[in-house]
């Protein structure tokens, strides 16, 4: 057991799907995995291991924001030997090109967070996805007939922003969408020499104002789940 995860050694697979929402982890386990065992309930942050097409896969909620994800990802890698970490999250689109329900493969994540400023003494770190997982996910999506957009995203510390136009600066530089975890996920993967990717579904558009409900965000973003599950080794 680690501080925040109640699993025994060997109970978590080398490939793990990481939604922010623990109920999305439960949905994945109940709808896609066979021989499922729930290994974590600490703080209600569910974690499950099962098999998908015969391959061992886990799924674990990370909570919202980089400080929360950082706790789970540090423990998953250091204490449980996880090697392929695939975030399956929702995001808000900055760009007409990415509409509600579209799937984005994040190749890199900008951030307004202080985490890497602390790590690197105020200098910048280029938080990027694993090319191995990114290229494989792109091929899987093509095979499954799911159109994906590959681009840069923003990992933000804030969901609600006092400056309602702040996102436009990021759009000017080609950033596709905002979420709250990937920059820390990519940074930790680089530190520990493992592979990480974020597959995101657009839950709302800052451009059009279109949005989905919390239940839709929990249960219906299945295209990204199906791409992620195929990445199990
Ligand atoms: O749907 P999840 O994976 O939680 O991701 C997004 O949704 C949450 C905000 O509603 C943040 O965690 C953000 O990154
Ligand atoms: O607008 C959004 C949607 C999902 N996640 C975010 O962080 N922002």
For residue range 132-149, what is the model confidence (pLDDT) as tens digits?
999 999 999 999 999 999
In which domain, by residue range, is 218 found?
15-231
In whole angstroms, what is the distance from residue 5 CA to residue 48 CA? 11
Which residue from 122, 121, 125, 99 is spatially nearest to 110, judged by alpha carbons? 125
| Any domain includes 54 | yes
| Any domain includes 125 | yes
Mutate to test the pocket of ligand 1, among 17, 20, 22 (most ligand atoms within 8 A of CB): 20
List pLDDT tens digits, range 8-25. Answer: 999 999 999 999 999 999
| Any domain includes 170 | yes
Count Cβ atoms within 10 A of the Cβ of residue 193 and give its class: 0-12 exposed, 13-18 middle, 19 or more buried: exposed
In whole angstroms, what is the distance from residue 136 CA to residue 105 CA? 11
Is 180 annotated as a binding-site member? yes
**pLDDT of res. 10:** 97
**pLDDT of res. 128:** 98
204: domain CATH number? 3.40.50.1580
Question: In Å, how far are 16, 140, 172, 181, 207 from 165, measured between CA atoms?
Answer: 35, 36, 12, 21, 11
The ligand placed nearest to the CA atom of residue 198 is 1
List pLDDT tens digits, range 98-123. Answer: 999 999 999 999 999 999 999 999 99
| Any domain includes 7 | no
pLDDT band at 47 (very low <50, low <70, confident <90, very high): very high
| Any domain includes 8 | no
**Beta bridge pairs of residue 65:** none
pLDDT band at 69 (very low <50, low <70, confident <90, very high): very high
| Any domain includes 4 | no
**pLDDT of res. 193:** 98
| Any domain includes 10 | no
What percentage of the chain reaches a pLDDT higher than 90?
A: 97
pLDDT band at 163 (very low <50, low <70, confident <90, very high): very high
- CB-side exposure of 30: number of CA atoms within 13 Å? 9
Predicted complex: ipTM over 0.95: yes
Tokens at residue 96, please? 């007409």
**pLDDT of res. 212:** 95
Tell me if 66 sits within 8 A of 155, measured CB to CB: yes
- Tell me the pLDDT of the chain averaged across its residues: 97
Number of domains in the chain: 1
- C-beta of 60 in contact with ligand 1 (< 6 A): no
Give the H or E element holding residue 201.
strand 195-205
204 is catalytic: yes
In whole angstroms, what is the distance from residue 37 CA to residue 231 CA? 20
| Any domain includes 107 | yes
Nearest CA to ligand 1 atom 6: 90
């Amino acid at each position: 057991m680690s501080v925040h995860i109640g699993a025994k050694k060997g109970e978590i697979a080398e490939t793990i799907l990481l939604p922010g929402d623990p109920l999305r982890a439960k949905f994945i386990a109940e709808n896609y995995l066979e021989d499922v065992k729930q290994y974590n309930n600490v703080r209600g942050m569910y974690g499950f291991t099962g098999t998908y097409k015969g391959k061992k896969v886990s799924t674990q909620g990370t909570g919202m924001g980089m400080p929360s994800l950082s706790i789970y990802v540090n423990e998953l890698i250091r204490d449980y030997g996880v090697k392929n970490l695939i975030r399956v999250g929702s995001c808000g689109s900055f760009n007409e090109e990415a509409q509600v329900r579209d799937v984005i493969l994040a190749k890199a994540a900008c951030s307004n967070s202080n985490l890497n400023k602390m790590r690197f003494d105020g200098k910048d770190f280029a938080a990027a996805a694993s090319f191995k997982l990114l290229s494989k996910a792109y091929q899987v999506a093509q095979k499954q007939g799911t159109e994906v957009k590959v681009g840069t995203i923003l990992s933000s510390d804030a969901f609600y922003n006092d400056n309602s136009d702040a996102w436009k600066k990021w759009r000017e530089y080609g950033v596709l969408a905002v979420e709250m975890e990937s920059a820390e996920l990519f940074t930790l993967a680089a530190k520990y020499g493992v592979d990480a990717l974020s597959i995101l579904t657009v839950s709302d558009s800052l451009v059009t104002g279109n949005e989905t409900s919390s239940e839709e965000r929990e249960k219906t973003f299945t295209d990204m789940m199906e791409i992620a599950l195929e990445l199990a080794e």
